[in-house]
Amino acid sequence: MDPVLLLLLVLLGFMIVGSLVAIETRGLLSSVISVGAAGFALSVVFLLLGAPDLAITQVVVEILVLVVLVRVVITRRDETYATSRSTLAVGSVLLVLGILVAVVFLALGASGGAGLQMRPFGDPLLNEAAPASAMAPVGEIADAESDRPETIPQSIGGAYLQEGLKRTHAANYVMGIVLDYRGYDTLGEATVIFVAILGAYAVLRRLGRHSHARDEPDR
Amino acid sequence: MRGMSLIVRNTTRLVAGFIALFGAYIVLYGHVTPGGGFSGGVIVAGGLVLVVLAFGERFCREVIPHEVVRTSDAIGALAFLGVALLGYLGGVFFKNFLPLGQTGALASAGTLILSNLAIGVKISAGLFGVFLALALFRRRGERRLMAPEPPLPDTEAP
C-alpha cells in the first residue's frame, strides 16, 4: 500500500476519534483541545495532499481559534450537564447506517461502472479532456473547429495549468488563480468576512456601549 | 483583563516582533512562496492577540485603540476593492495592469502583491478586532450582568 495513503488513513482515523472525543467529553476545555487536535491533523492531511497554502492557513487559523476558545472557556463557568445516552443504542444505529452506506456504495459502483465510482486520486474532473465543441461558447459550435488552434486546452483546469504561468508570472500559482483569474471570487470572500466581522461587532457591541457609558463617561 | 506573569511578558517581548515579521513575509511573498494575504494576516493577528493576552487590556488600549483596528479593517477592504477598480486603467475590472516582471522575483505578477497586502491588512485587523470584541466587550458586559455573583476565581495569578 502506498505509504502516503496509509498515513492519510491514519490521520483521518485520528481526526474522527478527535471529533468524537470533542463531542462526547464532559469538560469544555478538553473538548476544545480535541477540536484543535483534529484541526492540526487536517493541516497535515492538506500538506500530504500537496496543498501547502491550505496547510498554512489551517494551522494558523486553528491556533488563533484555539487561543480564543481556550480564553473563553477558562473564564467561563462550566455549565454543561451530562445527558444520559445509551451507548448500545447509538452504536447499533451507527453500525446499521454504516452498513447501509457501504452496501449502497458498492451496489451503485458495481453496476456498470458508471455509478458512484470515485475518480482516481490526483485526477480531478476538471482535468478531463472534453471535445472542443463542448467548451465552445453558446452559438459558436458551428465554426468552432475552423478558427480554433489545435493546442487549445480543452478544460478549464487544463487551460489554467497550460497558460497560467505565462499570463500571471506568479511562482506560487495558487495565488495566480485566486487573485488573478478568480479575482471576483476573492473579492466576494473578502466581502463575506467583512460582513461577518461587522455582524460580530454589532452583536457584541451593545454590552460594550453600556460599560463604556459607565466606565468612561467622557470618551 | 489584566496581563500575565513576568515570564510570559518577557517571552512575548522577544517573540512578538518575529511573529509580525513572519506574517509580513508570508503576506509579501504570497505570490512566490506558499502563503498569501489571508494566512499572513492571521499570523499578524495572532501576534497581536499574544501581545494583548500578555500585557493586558489597558496596555492594548493605549498602544492600539479599537478605533484604529476598526478603521484599518475598513481600509484594507476598500484597498482591495481599489486594486480591483484600478484595473480600469487597463480597461476591465480586476485587470492586472502592472508589468508582470520576472517569475519568482518579489516585484512580479503585477497587482497580486497589492491585493495580498490589502487582504493581509484587512484580515489581521478584522480578526484582531473580533478577538478584542469577544475578550473585552463581552467580559465587561458580563460582569455587569452577573453583578450579584461572587467574582470568578483568578486563574491568571502568577
Round to whole Å and give the CA distance between B133 and B141: 11
Round to whole Å and give the CA distance between B123 and A123: 33
Average pLDDT over residues A126-144: 49
Asked whether residue A62 falls in the same domain as residue A96, the answer is no
CB contact set of B155 (below 8 Å; sequence gap of 6+): A74, A75
Q: What is the share, in percent, of chain B residues with pLDDT greater than 70?
A: 83
- Chain A residues in contact with B116 by the CB 8 A cut-off are 175, 179
Residue A154 in domain: no
Cross-chain Cβ contact B130/A63 below 8 Å? no
The yes-or-no verdict on residue A144 having pLDDT over 60 is no
Asked whether residue A65 falls in the same domain as residue A15, the answer is yes
pLDDT score for B8:
85
Select from B39, B77, B108 the Cβ nearest to the Cβ of A194: B77
Asked whether residue A45 falls in the same domain as residue A12, the answer is yes
Asked whether residue A27 falls in the same domain as residue A52, the answer is yes
Residue B156 in domain: no
The yes-or-no verdict on residue A169 having pLDDT over 60 is yes
The yes-or-no verdict on residue A138 having pLDDT over 70 is no
Asked whether residue A45 falls in the same domain as residue A24, the answer is yes
- Our count of domains for chain A comes to 2
- Is B43 an interface residue toward A (CB < 8 Å)? yes
CB B45 within 8 A of CB B128: yes
Output the DSSP codes for B36-103: -HHHHHHHHHHHHHHHHHHH-HHHHHHHS-HHHHHHHHHHHHHHHHHHHHHGGGTTSTT---S---ST
Round to whole Å and give the CA distance between B85 and B94: 7
CB count in 10 Å sphere of residue B139: 18
Question: Which amino acid is present at B25?
Answer: Y
The yes-or-no verdict on residue A106 having pLDDT over 80 is no
- A26-64 per-position pLDDT tens digit: 778 888 889 999 999 999 998 888 888 889 989 999 998
pLDDT score for A114:
52
Cross-chain Cβ contact A180/B112 below 8 Å? yes
Average pLDDT over residues B140-148: 46
Q: Which of A59-68, A162-171, B15-24 has the lowest mean pLDDT?
A: A162-171
pLDDT score for A153:
54
Q: Is the dihedral of CA A70, A76, A82, A83 positive or negative?
A: negative
Asked whether residue A64 falls in the same domain as residue A3, the answer is yes
Select from B96, B136, B137 the Cβ nearest to the Cβ of A180: B96
C-alpha cell at position A162: 497550460
Average pLDDT over residues A83-111: 80
Cross-chain Cβ contact A211/B73 below 8 Å? no
When pLDDT is cut at 50, 70 and 90, the band that residue B146 belongs to is very low
Q: Which of A38-47, B4-13, B79-88, B105-114 has the lowest mean pLDDT?
A: B105-114
Last residue of a domain, one of A19, A51, A76: A76
Residue A30 in domain: yes
Residue B152 in domain: no
Average pLDDT over residues A172-194: 83
Asked whether residue A68 falls in the same domain as residue A96, the answer is no
When pLDDT is cut at 50, 70 and 90, the band that residue A179 belongs to is confident
- B95-137 per-position pLDDT tens digit: 777 777 777 777 777 778 888 889 999 999 988 888 887 776 5
Asked whether residue A6 falls in the same domain as residue A44, the answer is yes
The yes-or-no verdict on residue A156 having pLDDT over 80 is no
- Chain B residues in contact with A56 by the CB 8 A cut-off are 26, 34-35, 39
Asked whether residue A11 falls in the same domain as residue A70, the answer is yes
Cross-chain Cβ contact A197/B139 below 8 Å? no
Q: Is the dihedral of CA A209, A215, A217, A218 positive or negative?
A: negative
Round to whole Å and give the CA distance between A74 and A29: 7
Q: Which of A78, A163, A197 to mutate to test the interface with B (most CBs of B within 10 A)?
A: A197
pLDDT score for B137:
57
Q: Angle of helix B37-55 relative to helix B112-132, nearest 10 degrees? A: 30
Q: What is the domain range of residue B139?
A: 6-145
Q: What is the mean pLDDT of chain B?
A: 78
Asked whether residue A103 falls in the same domain as residue A44, the answer is no
When pLDDT is cut at 50, 70 and 90, the band that residue A218 belongs to is very low
Q: What is the domain range of residue A23?
A: 1-76
Give ipTM to 2 decimals.
0.75
DSSP-derived letter for residue A118 is P
- Our count of domains for chain B comes to 1
Half-sphere exposure of A142 (CA within 13 A, CB side): 1
Residue B39 in domain: yes
Asked whether residue A32 falls in the same domain as residue A96, the answer is no
Average pLDDT over residues A142-153: 49
When pLDDT is cut at 50, 70 and 90, the band that residue A98 belongs to is very high
Round to whole Å and give the CA distance between A31 and A36: 9
Asked whether residue A37 falls in the same domain as residue A65, the answer is yes
